[in-house]
A and B are shown apart, each in its own frame.
Chain A
Amino acid sequence: MSQSTSTQAADAPIISLHNVSKWYGQFQVLCAVDLDVRKGERVVVCGPSGSGKSTLIRCINRLEVHQEGRIFVKGLEMTDNVKNIDAIRRNIGMVFQNFNLFPHLTVLENLTLGPMLTRHMKKADAEDLAMHFLRKVRIPEQARKYPLQLSGGQQQRVAIARSLCMEPEIMLFDEPTSALDPEMIKEVLDTMIELAESGMTMIVVTHEMGFARTVADNVVFMADGRMVESAPPEEFFGNPREERTRTFLDQILKH
């Protein structure tokens, strides 16, 4: 992290994508995407299935590799440099649709694995940290259980806590409530709202438009790998500019 990045302007974007493109074989998933996210900003990404939302946010922590354009996180460019990848990943938490908790480890072990192995914390300190975040997501009493013994909503909150244990500055969410039964969606959204209120920088792929309205600073609409529209929620929902956005919103708000 010895790049000349410490001299960044205070309002420089913490995440910045320039002209990012990606192909799967002949198929172009991302077409020259530009995105700037400032520290503390909350961005909600929506769009039809297959439009490249997951691919976009997965490029930000290099679970996918972009082929054209440049991605910067805190001024550090995402290249194939292992050191940079490591440093960037430490600073970005990610929450998946299917939780992806480690089923062979207890909730507590799921949370302490990263801090102990990548942040070189003592076990006792890592456990204190883990309990702190389990209290934050309101399930400290589940610490000794195994993930599959919990409900979906509880599992997703554990997954959020696992990411928080790395004490990242940025959190990415890829449809965090899509795999949940309706009665559990709220508990996860509430956790996310609290996180937003604490000032976390967040990019959230979701179709929960209520969440977007209350939490987002910016709502981005993607279609066919392109960023079609990006606006603050009042404008995005009240007066969408693009025809495609309007059609999408009509479909999604009808339900």
Chain B
Amino acid sequence: MIDATPARDGQPSARRSKDLLYSEGFRAAAYQIALAAAVVFVGLFLYQNVVENLQRQNIATGFGFLREVSQFEIGETLINYSARDTYARALLVGLLNTLSVSAAGIVLATIIGFSVGIARVSNNWLLQRIATGYVEIVRNVPVILQVIFWAAVTRNLPAPRQALELWGLGFLSNRGLTFATPVADPAHGWMFLALVAGIALAGIGDRWARRHREATGKHVDMLWPSLAVVIGLPLVVWLAFGAPHLISFPERKGFSFVGGYTISPEFVALMTGISLYASGFIAEIVRAGIEATPKGQVEAARSIALRPRFIMRYVVLPQALRVIVPPLTSQYVSLIKNSSIAVVVGYPDLVNIGNTVMNQTGQAVEAIAVMMTVYLIISVVTSLLMNTYNRLVAIKER
């Protein structure tokens, strides 16, 4: 980097101000100030305009409407909701739907993306070709078309009477995907907590083993103890609750199913569309990550007799993850944003419900502000996490 020209003593002042004009530091600051001023000016202008227009049309402003009764039903809700609830609660239903379709989509996209990405670098010619073809198709067809395609597919599935049976565990029909689930039991919540505790314990055990190894040189293999505690704790809780093992199997009944759990065709179509689209990008990210760790790294590790497990853990993974995680996270964020395509298949996500609210109340600015804030928070939180991660793992170069 070139430093700003140092001020020279004893120069006439005209000469000095010219120096200032040519100084990098001064220029950078000046551009920043000019840009900030422009943004503030445009913002004020727009705000003034909107407020004047709304007043002229006698449209209410402010967020008071959130406490009013919504008077519309929502087809799919994760929490109790009826038309007598408030707009705020309707938006919350939408947010939860956005989060649930995104979470399912992220899991699916990750599984498919990693599999296809690994297939892309496999030695199997056919597998590699198929993976390449898949990536080209899902990446290059616009995501909205893909969602519409899957909506058409789910709509054209057979009626419940002729539903496709899935190995006795569920059905696929134009009512969506219906599958067997354990009957709800208080044990489940505790089992989940036990799982979280198990994972935490495994993490602590791992750190202990590392410290023990560094202090004494002795290895303690934590793989099996970790697995035991992660699987074992929930199992113990399950047994402590008397091993509740009732499973609700869905059955055909009339034009529908009873029992089991059904996810709607809209959910299936939206989730499939956005996650397949993302899986293409994730596959490429994974391929790049794998190829980013040079062969020489593994050879060097072998030459000091490291075992395959240690090579993976201490040499390959740390380098591959550095390359994979940041773009992977931005794929997750864009998948969450893509879930707003929900409106074309009629899935009640945040944007879809926000639209309805906007139409009923006329308070477009506020409704959009709410939606934008939510997406902004999701993105900002993600990039904060990402920056922290990057700072922690950055490879130091000169």
Contact = CB atoms under 8 A, between A and B. Distances in A.
Interface string A102-136: 11100000000110111011110100000000000
A89 B393 contact: no
A250 B161 CA distance: 87
Give me the 4 closest cross-chain CB pairs, A-B, nearest first: A123-B214, A114-B304, A100-B300, A94-B303
B40 to A, nearest CB: 43
B314 A122 contact: no
Contacts of B396: 145-146, 148-149
Interface in A50-100: 61, 63, 86, 89-90, 92-94, 96, 98, 100
A89 B213 contact: no
Contact of B398 (A86, A101, A118, A149): A149
A84 B215 CA distance: 28
B307 interface: yes
Contacts of A101: 300
B129 interface: no
A85 to B, nearest CB: 8
23 contacts: A61-B303, A89-B305, A94-B303, A100-B296, A100-B297, A100-B299, A102-B297, A103-B395, A104-B318, A104-B393, A104-B395, A113-B314, A114-B305, A117-B306, A117-B314, A118-B306, A120-B218, A121-B217, A122-B215, A123-B214, A148-B395, A149-B396, A149-B397
A163 interface: yes
Nearest to A82: B307
Contacts of A215: none
Contacts of A117: 306-307, 310, 314
B302 interface: yes
B395 A96 contact: no
B319 interface: yes
A148 B214 CA distance: 26
A104 B397 CA distance: 10
Given A104-B322, A166-B304, A120 B299 contact: no
B398 A63 contact: no
A120 B217 contact: yes
Interface of A: 61, 63, 86, 89-90, 92-94, 96, 98, 100-104, 113-114, 116-118, 120-123, 125, 145-146, 148-149, 159, 162-163, 165-166
A148 B395 CA distance: 8
User: Dominant SS at the B interface?
Assistant: helix
A89 B397 contact: no
Contacts of A125: 217
Interface in B282-316: 294, 296-297, 299-307, 310, 314-315
Contacts of A122: 214-217
Given A61-B303, A100-B297, A116-B213, 13 more contacts: A63-B299, A63-B303, A89-B302, A93-B304, A96-B300, A100-B299, A104-B322, A113-B314, A120-B218, A122-B217, A162-B304, A163-B303, A165-B304
B215 A123 contact: yes
A159 B296 CA distance: 12
Nearest to A62: B302
A162 B300 CA distance: 10
A179 to B, nearest CB: 11
Interface in B342-397: 393, 395-397
A92 B305 CA distance: 9
B177 to A, nearest CB: 43
B219 interface: yes
A110 to B, nearest CB: 9
A90 B315 CA distance: 18
Contacts of B217: 116, 120-122, 125
A162 B306 CA distance: 13
B300 A120 contact: no
A148 B306 CA distance: 22
Nearest to B305: A89
Contacts of B303: 61, 63, 89, 92-94, 163
A116 B305 CA distance: 11
Contacts of B302: 61, 63, 89
Contacts of B304: 89, 93, 113-114, 118, 162-163, 165-166
Nearest to B398: A149
A122 B212 CA distance: 9
B31 to A, nearest CB: 33
Nearest to B215: A122
A162 B304 CA distance: 8
Nearest to A149: B398
Given A102-B315, A104-B322, A118 B300 contact: no
A114 B304 CA distance: 6
Contacts of B213: 116, 123
A146 B395 contact: yes
Given A104-B395, A117-B306, A166-B304, A96 B315 contact: no
